[in-house]
Amino acid sequence: MSIVAQIKKAAAGAIAALYNVNVEEKLIQVNATNPGFDGDYAVVLFGFIKQLKKSPDVLGNEIGNYLLQNNPALFTSFNLVKGFLNLVVADAYWAGFLLSNYADPLFGKSAPNGKKVMVEYSSPNTNKPLHLGHLRNNFLGWSTAAILQANGYDVIKSCIVNDRGIHICKSMIAWQLFANGATPASTGMKGDHFVGDYYVKYNDEYKKQVELLTQSGIAKEVAEKEAAILKAAQQMLLDWEAGDPEVVELWKTMNGWVYAGFDVTYKKIGSDFDRTYYESETYLLGKGLVEKGLQKGVFYRKEDGSVWIDLTADGLDEKLVMRKDGTSVYITQDIGLAVNKYEEYAYDQSIYVVGDEQIYHFKVLKLICQKLGLPSADGIYHLSYGMVELPTGKMKSREGTVVDADDIIGEMEAIARQKTEELGKVKDFTEDELAELYSTIGLGALKFFLLRVDPKKKMVFNPEESIDFHGFTGPFVQYTHARIKSILRKLGTNTVNFFDYTDAIANGALLPLEKALITQLEQFSVVLADCAEVQDPSKLAIYAFNLAKTFNSFYTEHSIVGAESEVKKALRLQLAQLTAQTLKTGMELLGIHVPERM
């Protein structure tokens, strides 16, 4: 149990004993004591003043004295500052915490809680390679899943591949027109890049054809609908839906090229899935649910035969769920897939990691599922995130201005090489070790930079800024971990006597930076629980950075090998070990590897 949880429990017990009032522990607010005041944690008294009819000072003194008398091993003193009961936690408690946890590889993680969560992320289209926006999506989805798993959830990582539709046919028709039989193998190109180039070629040709038609006197709006290459793509989609063997075979071939390319990128960035769904297999799902919805009166049919739902009473609008020709729309497919997922996994929550431009879509999805009474409905949650932009502005895939994921990863590795060589501390590394190190630093910098920002915020990615060994970056945390591991190797931890020193730690024995580091470490499980509850990995990135900063300050001021006593030597060595372990665990939950040396 964390120290905050223990304080809440003790405070609730004090209120019950002193005033015969039962207060839920979760309603008791406990904060870290504000800098400049004596104490470690503060119980906020304002919420109880009216209920207990006591002034803040009287209430604080009564509760504070009760806590000291009944919890002498936990608290040593208290003071009151304007409605805040500041408590000083015994140094022996902190020492006991450190001694109990410094060698625990599972420190901070929770036991299984019996709840199942599905996290869907990535959701690529098979007409282009993964790009910078996909990287934020993948990193956010993967780390959210890892954090939930660390908190005891049974997690299923899933992906829906958008492998059908007019956008896929556009790259297919362009390949037929311009490739002359070229393949990824014959050109030496990665499959997803190869197919993506033909999507750009399609758009270039489409613009040319529209321009020629408008020059011949046709209105632009008409020209945009009558361009021959668009007509060809539309016909190809109809042929695919009709099962035309040649079209289906080309579709399979080109998608296969893309999947091979995706796999290389996924392996590089450490993204994986337990279950992959394909739109070509799910786009007909949900049509039966529309019929059931009509029977229940959830949906209504217009005169033209299309089916709708009226959500105006819920603050939304009317939404089409089936076209007049009987074909489904995206919302219908998503309803069907939500049911399909629930039938397969019986999850408690289904998290969709999708950009914030789809906030409205997921509000509608959840509301429709609830009105249909589907068992999957209440578990639907949209983890939205803001778009990633470059210093030069927005990216557009059809114009070929998107930064491919592979290209940005390559650039990050090159910057990592340059920055590392400038430091000049890797002269004893082999070429293979250097290659692995540059990849670890470059990818770590990329992930950390994209994850350190609240997901809901838009962000600008600056490659140079992300690899700064002294800034708010992944490499700073990685370097701190490597520094600690170097210290531990030099000291030879096997020769240190790790005795039970808790009795030797009297109040006031811990120096300020020793205590600051221990208290920060003790908060790790609370931070992980908070990250899981709000599904925000940025809180973990911030925690890891601050922990690394605190350790560096501690080590600058206090020697381990030259400690003033055996007690201090053992305590500081354990502090170093637990800090290294916590940084490693925290960064791994962000999908970032921390090297043993760098």
Q: What was the pLDDT predicted at 397?
A: 43
pLDDT digits (tens, 9 = 90+) for 431-468: 999 999 999 999 999 999 999 999 999 998 888 888 88
Check residue 400 and give its pLDDT: 47
pLDDT (average), residues 501-515:
82
Q: Which fold has domain 446-589?
A: Isoleucyl-tRNA Synthetase; Domain 1 (1.10.730)
Q: What is the pLDDT of residue 497?
A: 56
Check the CA dihedral 570-575-580-585 and report its sign. Answer: positive
pLDDT bin (cut points 50, 70, 90) of residue 598 is: confident
Summarize pLDDT for 405-441 with one digit per residue, the tens. Answer: 999 999 999 999 998 888 877 788 899 999 999 999 9
The pLDDT of residue 325 is 86
pLDDT of 284: 84
Please report which confidence band the pLDDT of residue 577 belongs to, taking 50, 70 and 90 as the band edges. very high
In this predicted model, what pLDDT tens digit does every residue of 127-140 receive, in sequence order? 999 999 899 999 99
Return the exposure string of 461-485: e unless at least 16 CB atoms fall within 10 Å of the residue's CB, then b: bebeebbebeebbbbbbbbbbbbbb
Q: pLDDT value at position 312? A: 95
pTM of the model: 0.92
Residue 14 has what pLDDT?
95
What is the residue-wise DSSP string for 411-447?
HHHHHHHHHHHHHT--TT--HHHHHHHHHHHHHHHHH
Rounded Cα–Cα distance for residues 446 and 466 (Å): 7
The DSSP call for residue 309 is: E
Parse the chain into domains and list their residue ranges: 3-89, 165-272, 287-327, 446-589
- Which band of pLDDT confidence, cut at 50, 70 and 90, is reported for residue 481? very high
**Residue 380 confidence (pLDDT) above 70:** yes
For range 302-312, the mean pLDDT: 94
Q: Is the pLDDT of residue 211 over 50?
A: yes
Q: Is the dihedral of CA 182, 186, 191, 197 positive or negative?
A: negative
Largest CA distance in the chain: 94
User: Of 1-15, 486-500, 553-567, where does mean pLDDT reach its minimum?
Assistant: 486-500
- CATH number for 3-89 (one of 1.10.3720.10, 3.30.1450.10, 3.40.50.720, 3.30.1360.70): it is 3.30.1360.70
pLDDT at residue 269 greater than cutoff 50: yes
Q: Is the pLDDT of residue 292 over 60?
A: yes
How confident is the model over 6-10, as a mean pLDDT?
A: 96
Q: Which helix (H) or strand (E) is 524 found in, with range?
A: helix 524-534
**For residue 398, what pLDDT band results from cuts at 50, 70 and 90?**
very low
Place of tokens 């915020």: 457
CB-based contact 557:513 (threshold 8 Å)? yes
* Residue 462 confidence (pLDDT): 85
Lowest mean pLDDT among 30-39, 353-362, 491-500: 491-500
